[in-house]
Structure 1
Amino acid sequence: MSSPLIVLENVSLTLPSAAGPVEILKGLDARVEAGEHVAVTGPSGSGKSSLIALAAGLEQPTGGTVRLLGEDLSKLDEDRRARLRRGQVSLVFQSFHLLPNMTAEENVAAPLEIAGKADAFPLARQWLDRVGLMGRLKHYPHQLSGGEQQRVALARALATRPRLLFADEPTGNLDAENAAHVADLLFGLAQETGAAMVLVTHDPALAARADRRIVLRAGRAVSA
């Protein structure tokens, strides 16, 4: 049996504030297996986005252990964490995070070039075709609708065929029609590529499509 892609053991996160330290996560245990799709749900402020930030190595916990792809992240500096993610871990956010001075094609090709793919642009075009955007290759983000921008972001995330995809409220800024389209693409393409997925969402219907869910409340997992 393969090792889990993510292991969180007794993880806590405390952040400073003007009113004093704030506990975001408290003694959290969680794991994600290869190919598994896990939804993270809970009320606003329960620590959902913080869980993703810690699991992806974007933040360091105050206590406990985080292992990503078998590596203890506390033993890696920021540069080594970035190298660990490269080509193996992708992220999709609510606010798209496309590079504004790059076309749709260039946005998708960029991580492929960083990963050393000689055919980065042909692959980018193939993935934009997969998400229905061949007619928008040369368009810049400001020329695209919100739904189109999120489809570019999804193509960019999956073009490297990562082992693990983090998606933080990927449909949160979209209308119902675009949200449904992006959700179908998200689950369909993740399943096709074999990527495991950790999905933060407020949408019960979207969470129901995952293999299982982790419910956070006040920084603790109350159901998993």
Structure 2
Amino acid sequence: MNDDAQPAAQLVLDAVTLTLPAAAGPVEILRGVVLVVSAAERVAIIGPSGSGKSSLIAVGAGLEAPTTGAVRLFGQDLSRLDEDGRARLRRGRAALVFQSFHLLPNMTAEENVATPLEIAGASGALATARGWLERVGLGKRLGHYPHQLSGGEQQRVALARALAARPALLFADEPTGNLDGVTAAAVADLMFDLVAEVGAALVMVTHDPVLAERADRIVRMADGRVLA
């Protein structure tokens, strides 16, 4: 093996643009974005509201198709895959955590974590879910529904759900944005610890400069463009 070899890129955005229709005319959301994220690299994306940060994650994760340019996730050109194909590519390999948690309200914490594992065909999904909820400090809240959990607890469930499959890449969009300062710090500690443990790359949108400084690299955006 060549010791000088570069780490494999988990995500590549090559001259990506995104233009969306609006009543007043098309709106350019992303303008020629170039980004490469290597295996196990932690990247923070910062910038003012409306700069395109969340759209970059949506395009990178294959949730939104770019207008022009290429997106490669785990070496696969997303333009060659339909929606089902992109979902299969993400399954077990890419995970997402959002500011709004996106837990299923009619499922317990245990079921929220176990269900994606079951869909992916993993054996022992319930046992794995219990183990991860124990690790995020919610071992006594397995049977609680989201409305019975605090915001910080819900975000810890979301983290457990995202990382239980030991993904290669975690997308996090303002993962502490809805939390108070103390809870946000605790969730951030947990996220970075668990990402390091599973060896996942991290692409994180945040408005918090302290959180951003914990990443390996900071990418600044403005007006749909990457500045650095």
* TM-score of Structure 1 vs Structure 2, range by shorter chain: over 0.9
How far is 1:118 from its partner?
Answer: 1.6
When normalised by structure 2's length, the TM-score is: 0.97
State the aligned residue count: 223
**Any runs of at least 4 consecutive aligned residues in structure 1 with deviations exceeding 6 A, and if so which?**
none
Cα displacement string for residues 82-124 of structure 1 (whole angstroms, at most 9, x for unaligned residues): 0000000000000000000000000000111112112101110
Partner of 1:192: 197
| Partner Cα separation in structure 2 for residue 198 and residue 74 of structure 1 | 21
How far is 1:3 from its partner?
Answer: 2.6
Partner of 1:220: 225
Cα displacement string for residues 1-26 of structure 1 (whole angstroms, at most 9, x for unaligned residues): 34301111110000111111100010
| Partner Cα separation in structure 1 for residue 204 and residue 210 of structure 2 | 12
Partner of 1:206: 211
Counterpart among 9, 12, 30 of residue 7 in structure 1: 12
| Partner Cα separation in structure 2 for residue 221 and residue 87 of structure 1 | 29
| Partner Cα separation in structure 1 for residue 112 and residue 225 of structure 2 | 36
1:95 is aligned with what amino acid?
S
How far is 1:145 from its partner?
Answer: 0.4
Partner of 2:77: 72
Q: In angstroms, what is the RMSD of aligned CA positions? A: 0.6
Which secondary structure does the structure 2 equivalent of 1:30 belong to?
strand
Question: 1:8-47 counterparts in 2 under 5 A?
Answer: 8-47=13-52
When normalised by structure 1's length, the TM-score is: 0.98
Which secondary structure does the structure 2 equivalent of 1:5 belong to?
strand
Partner of 1:182: 187
Percent sequence identity over aligned pairs: 70
Unmatched tracts of structure 2, length 5 or more: none
1:173 is aligned to 2:178: yes
Unmatched tracts of structure 1, length 5 or more: none
